[in-house]
Amino acid sequence: MASTAFVRVFHDDVVPILCETTRPVEGSPALPLHSRLPRSCAQRRIGTLAAACLAAAVTLVGCSDSEAQDDASTIVRSTTNIAGAGVVGNNRDTVGLCPALAPLDRTGVEGDTRPVGHAEGISAIPADPQRIVVLDAAGLDASCAVGIWERVVGAATLDPDFRGDGDQPLYLGTGLASVPSVGPVGAPDMDAISALDPDLILGADSLGPDAYDSLTAIAPTVFTTTGQGWKDTFLQSTAALGRGQSGFDALASFSADAERVGREIDAAQTQASVLRFDADSIEVDGPDSFAGQVLSEVGVGRPQSQRDADFSVEPDNLAPVEGDIVYVRFAGPDGETFGREVMDSDAWHALGSVTDGRVFAVNDTVWSGSGVVAARAVLADLSASLNAYVS
């Protein structure tokens, strides 16, 4: 289990600085409460706070306080600071993350199959699939959330140029991380899929009708419809896996936790900027992105410039990325290289959030993801960092 040290700043005329140890585990009901000064107050009292923060000299530091050995211990996430940004969630606990197998939905079952409507029409698929191939991150997240992940015999590999992992999402734990690859996301290897003898293939409409035709020649295939938000995609995936009701229950539980955590961390008082460094560009997340939707449900505000669609900014014009807090992530090694260059520039250091020590680096796979497990990981990151400072 990981421990992380934070600086907490309270709403008081006397401003004490405390170092608190917390355990940010996704899905945990015991999420920490952090109090902070509004950004405007922080700016007015920056001299006092800077001296106090420097005296505390606290950065986000991950350390192990458990001697228990398990498969999750083989995942190394030790970086605690990237170009001045505190790293959040780098010691995420994934032991026991995927629950036990959820009950099978009986509604609509006709013998051993059930009809499922999806992006390519209506398909008769196994009522209780046993050998599943998953071709996108949303489906893999769903398989974990409803406990059917042990029946996943193959999965598309995350494109390292897009996500930065180069294998299955590590936030889902070592069990799914070790699932054999059937080619990269967006270009499935039909021969590899066929060799696994699946009885269900779960993908997304982005693969297109030609890929669908090829896949249905191997096994019953469901393509989820994207573009209606991550929750809709999640429910389509869990329905195809025969656990639609459990999918609804998982979303209801997440929504309740998001609302509660939002109150605990006083989310509405903070405007969070969210951006991603690609190899040669800076992309800013709008409210319709996965991260933007989760922040909205928690009640976190967004800067005025980030309340419409996603957009790009130039390295010499960073004003649109300003916020009370800035969350950054990197598209693989090239994205991190470019990000470090930008974060070392005068334009970057002119941002008030940088001066205040309010920049945090988050996992790209999680914050660019889709699904309730990823959403809970974002929720844990927000709980651990929204009112924290890095020095």
pLDDT in tens, 157-205: 875 544 444 457 788 988 888 888 899 888 999 999 999 999 999 999 9
Q: Which amino acid is at 239?
A: A
Residue in the structure block whose two tokens are 């499935």? 188
pLDDT at 173: 85
- Residue 5: is its pLDDT beyond 80? no
pLDDT for 162 equals: 44
User: For the whole model, what pTM was predicted?
Assistant: 0.80
Calculate Rg over the CA atoms of the chain: 22
Percent of the chain with pLDDT over 90: 66
Residue 53 and residue 389 in contact, taking contact as beta carbons nearer than 8 Å: yes
pLDDT at 95: 83
Q: How many CB atoms lie within 10 A of CB 43?
A: 13
Residues 335-360 have a mean pLDDT of 97
Q: Render the burial of 215-228: b for 16+ CB within 10 Å, e for the rest.
A: beebbbbbbbebee
- Summarised one tens digit per residue, pLDDT across range 228-242 is 899 999 999 999 999
Tokens matching residue 238: 């869990």
**For 258, how many CA atoms within 13 A lie in the half-sphere containing its CB?**
22
Strand 200-204 relative to strand 221-224, pairing: parallel
How far is C-alpha 391 from the geometric centre of its chain's CA atoms? Answer: 25
In sequence order, which residues have a C-beta less than 8 Å from that of residue 347 and are 6 or more positions away?
Answer: 315, 316, 317, 318
Give the tokens for residue 170.
């590590």
For residue 187, the one-letter residue type is A
The 10 Å Cβ neighbour count of residue 374 is 30
